[in-house]
Amino acid sequence: MTDRVIAIADSGRSKPLPRTGPLPVAGPLADSLGRHLRDLRISVTDRCNFRCIYCMPKEVFGPDYAFLDRSELLSFEEITRLARIFCSYGIEKIRLTGGEPLLRRNLERLIEMLSGIANLDLTLTTNGSLLARKARALRDAGLKRITVSLDSLDERVFRAMNDADFPVAKVIEGIEAAEAAGLAPIKINMVVKRGVNEDSILPMARHFRGSGHIVRYIEFMDVGASNGWRMDDVVPSAEVIRRIGEEMPLEPVEHNYEGEVAERWRYRDGPGEIGVISSVTQAFCRSCTRARLSTEGMLYTCLFASAGYDLRSLVRGQAGDAEIAAAIGAIWRQRSDRYSEIRTAETAKQRKVEMSYIGG
């Protein structure tokens, strides 16, 4: 593949693969701004049983929405092959996402396949709706950690946000099952939207304090083109910290690792911590180490990208591992994404890939 460029046509969502140059030597891979590739998010399905207002609003993702055909999805074998190639570049963590990943049939088999990759931190993000009956099988298959999305403990607010009439109690039951299965500590993600669920900030902190689990408050982001994002809807992380700190004093904690997106805070008067993810008000592009692989094998180098690179055509076109590795290396080396740092009212309106398609 040294001298050829593969052009891909996919409804404007694809970029041509760059010229690769010499075949790569396995090891750390840095982009044009010196950021190393450390984390890979793999979406295993574009389907979800929720219609969260900030991700898959019902007005867009209604009964007639055309999801991907099963034949278009990467198989478990194809995902595992690509994961191994990515890991040759120093990937340390893989997170399985969706859509809702637990909707993918026999997902435990994929987890078992991926868990065979040495020194890999394997985790998964879920809405928790199917977790109560799947937690034990996921842990037995080799899953190490789990993150659960939960936007409120208030029944009315939670049902309004998931827009699928799903009860809070079922998600709590899933969290408890995951803990019992040995997937703790669990991270609880709460997307905060002004005028919708900011009154749930403190109740979430109170409920999970002392549980060993970590609530992470996420600023409402302009991902995709269907969630009606406005800056006025963003509750800045600084406000979240202030609200919690007025009742339960907090102090900052050092990052766990290079490229960690959550800013960590712990309670001054007892055990426990929270986190805030501030992609809007405190952009962390300069330390971003994440790549994203979509359900049908498109590689995206930014959560806010408008187009990706088609790796599935290489996998299904009989390309060898070295050729695929060369393509990945070339893509990452030319990466210069820093959307959150340059976000404006105009760029926020640009069409971007939907979060449900590549995971958060």
Residue-level pLDDT at 231: 80
Spans of all domains in the chain: 14-186+287-358
What is the full per-residue pLDDT of the chain (360 aa) written as tens digits? 333 333 333 334 678 877 555 545 557 899 999 999 999 999 999 999 999 988 888 988 999 999 999 999 999 999 999 999 999 999 989 999 999 999 999 999 999 999 999 889 999 999 999 999 999 999 999 999 999 999 999 999 999 999 999 999 999 999 999 999 999 899 999 999 999 999 999 999 999 999 999 999 999 877 666 666 688 899 999 999 999 999 999 999 988 776 678 899 999 998 999 999 988 888 778 889 999 999 999 999 988 888 899 999 999 998 999 999 999 999 999 999 887 777 665 555 566 677 777 876
Strand-strand pairing, 290-293 and 39-43 = parallel
Residue 320 to residues 2, 74, 82, 113, Cα–Cα distance (Å): 13, 17, 11, 20
Using CA atoms, how far apart are residues 94 and 39, in angstroms rounded to an integer? 6
Number of H helices, E strands in the chain: 11, 13
Return the structure tokens found at 258. 């290079």
Burial class of 163 by CB neighbour count within 10 A (0 to 12, 13 to 18, 19+): middle
Instruction: Tell me the helix, strand and coil percentages in the chain, rounded to 5.
Output: 30, 20, 50
Helix ranges (DSSP H) in 142-236 = 155-162, 168-181, 201-208
Residue-level pLDDT at 18: 73
Strand-strand pairing, 121-126 and 214-219 = unpaired
Which CATH code, of 3.20.20.70, 1.20.1250.20, 3.40.710.10, 3.40.50.2020, is assigned to 14-186+287-358?
Answer: 3.20.20.70
Residue-level pLDDT at 196: 94
Using CA atoms, how far apart are residues 3 and 261, in angstroms rounded to an integer? 37
Return the structure tokens found at 199. 């009154």
pTM score:
0.90
- Residue 251, strand partner residues: 266
